Structure 1
Amino acid sequence: MAFDLEHHQIQTNGIRLHVVQCGPANGPLVILLHGFPEFWYGWRYQIQALAEAGYRVWVPDQRGYNLSDKPPRIADYRIGQLGADVLGLLDAAGVGKAALIGHDWGAAVTWWLAAHHPERLSRVAILNVPHPAVLGRALRRAPRQLLKSWYIFFFQLPWLPEHLFRRRQFRFGRGALRGTSRPGTFTTDDLRQYTEAWARPGAPTGMINWYRAALRAAGGVGPTGRIRIPVRILWGRLDAFLEPVLAELSLGQCDQGELTYFDRATHWLHQEEPAEVNRLLLDFLRADAPASVT
C-alpha cells in the first residue's frame, strides 16, 4: 500500500521546519535527517519503504534548507540548535521517543542527540558520518582525511563559497553530486529538484553556515561521549569525503553498535543501494518495534 506524502510546516525551537510526513498516523515515529547539500528528497527511496512497514515517517528540511526557515546568524546553526530542532519535532508529534536515521550532517545531529538526549531516542542509524570525537582526531592526526576535508575549511570564507555554489545555475552543486556518486545515481530530474531547493532565497548561505558554525563555535561540533543506545552504522567504502576506517573507530564509541560496509557504494549509499539499505534499516528498527509493525 502506497501512502501519500503530506507536506507540513511545524513550529519547533523558535523556527518553522517544512516536514514531509508519510505512513500510518499511529505508527512508531521514525525521523530521517538529510545532510549537505540535500533536503527531504534525499530520502525518497526510504520514505515509502518505512511507511509500508507500518512506521510514521517524518522527514524535515533541516534549518537553512529548501522550504524551512533560514536564520541569518552563523550562531543559529550550532549543533545544540540543530539538535533542539529535532527534539521540538518529537514534542510536536506528541511522542516521548522516536528512532532517528541520519546521513551526512543529519548523522552528525543524530550522533549529538544520541549522546546528549538518549532518553528521547529508541535507537539510531548512521549513514557515512563518523562519531564527532573520531572525526576530530582524524582531522588533527590523519593527513589523508584532512586532505579529503578541504571543503570544510573553504566554506569558512565569506560569500565566495555561495558565489561558487550559485555559479551558472548551480552547476557546481550538480557536478559535485554526480562527480562523487556512482553513474546514474542522480538523474536529470533529481538534479532539477535539487537545483530548485538550492535556489530558494537564503538557501546557499543557510546550508553552508552549518560548516561555519561547526568550526567557529567553542568545541566545534560539541563534546560527544559514548553512545549507550543501539546504533546501526551503514557505510559506503568509496566515500570521496571520509575514510572507511572512521566507521570502525566510530563503532568503538558505541555500547550497542553494528556496522555494515557497502563495498561498491559511495557517500550516497542510501540512493545507490536503496533495497539493501532499506532491508538493514527495517531489520534494525523491528528489533524493538511493537507487533503491529511488520
Structure 2
Amino acid sequence: MPLRSEPDFSRVRLQDVTLHVASVGPQDGPLVILLHGFPEFWFGWRHQIDALAAAGFRVVAPDQRGYNLSSRPQDIGAYHLDRTADDVLALADSFGAEAFQVVGHDWGGLVAWRLATRSPERVRRLVILNAPHPDVFAPYARRHPSQVLRSTYVGAFQVPWLPEAGLRAADYLALREALRLSSRPGTFGAADLARYREAWAQPGALTGMLNWYRALRLKRRTEPGPVRAPTLIVWGKRDTALGSGLATESLKLCEHGEILWLPQATHWLHHEEPAQVNGVVTSFLAQ
C-alpha cells in the first residue's frame, strides 16, 4: 500500500531540538500525531497517513529525536521519556493545537503513554500499537521470566559504541534481519528497506536511536497517574519481543480503555494488516 503522494515536509524548531516532520491532510482538521518506534522513522506510518488524511484529520508524523533527519542530542538524558513527551507537546503547539490525538507504536507508544499520563488535558484520544505502559514493564518482567528472555537485547544496547558497530556491520544486516525475522514474510520489501537504510545511515543516527534504550536507567521526573483519555490498544499477538500480558496490564491503568487483539499479527501489525488497523484507528479517533 504505497503512499498516494509524498507528504509535506518541514523542520520544526523546538526548545532544544529540531524535528523533521511529515504532514498531510486538511489544515483545519483535528490534529493526529503519529509516533514511530525503533528502528523506524516517519516512513513507518506510510500505510496509515493517507487513510487518516482521507478521514479529515491533520496528520503529523515526526522523526523523533535521534532518528533520521531530526536532531541527535549527544546527552543520554536528552532521550528520557519526559523529554520526548515534551517534544510532542511542543510539536502540537507549533501546529496550533491545544488538544490533539496521538497514535504510538513501540517506543512511540511509550512516549504516548507517558504523555497521556502527564498531560491529560492535552490528549483527547490515545491509540497504542504493541507498546506497554512504561510503569508496567518492569513489574511484569519480574513476574514473567519469559519476558526477560524476550528483552535481552535491551541490556545489550546499554553498552557504549559496540551496538552501533554491530548494527552497522554488513550494510545494517542485523537491523534488516531483525525486521525480517520478527515480521510476517514479505512485510518489508526491498524498496522499504532501502528507505530505512538511508535513515539508519544518517551521521549519528544509530547512536541517537540506541540512546532511547540507554536512557531507561534514568529516573523519571513525574509520578505515574491514571490514563484518563479514551484509549484503544491494538495488539498483534505474535509479537516475539513483547508478551500479550503487557497489554492487559497496561489496560488496568486506563480509566476508559479497550484492547483489540490481532491474532495473526506480529509486532509490526500496522504494516501487516493496514486495512484493519486503519479502519479501527480511524473509527476510534473520529468518535
Whether TM-score is above 0.5 comes out as yes
Q: Distance in 2 between matches of 1:63 and 1:110?
A: 14
State which drifts further: 139-148 or 119-128. 139-148
- How far is the alpha carbon of 1:55 from its aligned partner? 0.5
Q: Distance in 1 between matches of 2:102 and 2:5?
A: 20
Question: Identity of counterpart residues, as a percentage?
Answer: 50
- How far is the alpha carbon of 1:207 from its aligned partner? 0.1
Q: Distance in 2 between matches of 1:67 and 1:3?
A: 20
1:101 maps to which residue? 103
Q: Distance in 2 between matches of 1:13 and 1:142?
A: 40
1:48-89 alpha-carbon deviations (Å, 9 max, x no partner) = 000011110000000000000000111111111101111110
2:137 maps to which residue? 135
- How far is the alpha carbon of 1:223 from its aligned partner? 4.1
1:224-280 alpha-carbon deviations (Å, 9 max, x no partner) = 321111000000000010001111111111110010000000000000000000000
2:282 maps to which residue? 282
Q: How does 1:119-198 map to 2 (within 5 A)?
A: 119-198=121-200
Q: Distance in 1 between matches of 2:222 and 2:148?
A: 19
- Please, what TM-score do these two structures have when normalized by structure 2? 0.97
1:218 maps to which residue? 219
| Partners of 2:230 and 2:257 within 8 A in 1 | yes
Could you say what secondary structure the match of 1:20 adopts? strand
2:50 maps to which residue? 48
1:236 maps to which residue? 236
CA RMSD between the two structures = 1.4
Amino acid in the other structure paired with 1:35: G
1:291 maps to which residue? none
1:89 maps to which residue? 91
- How far is the alpha carbon of 1:4 from its aligned partner? 5.0
- How far is the alpha carbon of 1:24 from its aligned partner? 0.8
Could you say what secondary structure the match of 2:132 adopts? coil
1:111-150 alpha-carbon deviations (Å, 9 max, x no partner) = 0000000111111100001112221212223200011010
2:202 maps to which residue? 200
| Partners of 2:150 and 2:241 within 8 A in 1 | yes
Q: Distance in 2 between matches of 1:41 and 1:13?
A: 24
| Partners of 1:124 and 1:231 within 8 A in 2 | yes
Within the candidate set 30, 33, 36, 1:31 is matched to 33
1:57 maps to which residue? 59
Q: Distance in 2 between matches of 1:258 and 1:147?
A: 28
Alignment coverage as a number of residue pairs: 285
1:5 maps to which residue? 7
1:248 maps to which residue? 248
- Please, what TM-score do these two structures have when normalized by structure 1? 0.94
Q: Distance in 2 between matches of 1:137 and 1:104?
A: 18
Amino acid in the other structure paired with 1:272: E
Q: Distance in 1 between matches of 2:260 and 2:143?
A: 25
| Partners of 1:79 and 1:222 within 8 A in 2 | no
Q: Distance in 2 between matches of 1:212 and 1:139?
A: 18
Q: Distance in 1 between matches of 2:13 and 2:35?
A: 17
Could you say what secondary structure the match of 1:213 adopts? helix
Question: Structure 1: which 4+ aligned runs deviate by more than 3 Å?
Answer: none
Whether 2:77 is the aligned partner of 1:71: answer no
Q: Distance in 2 between matches of 1:4 and 1:26?
A: 20
| Partners of 2:118 and 2:222 within 8 A in 1 | no
Could you say what secondary structure the match of 2:44 adopts? helix
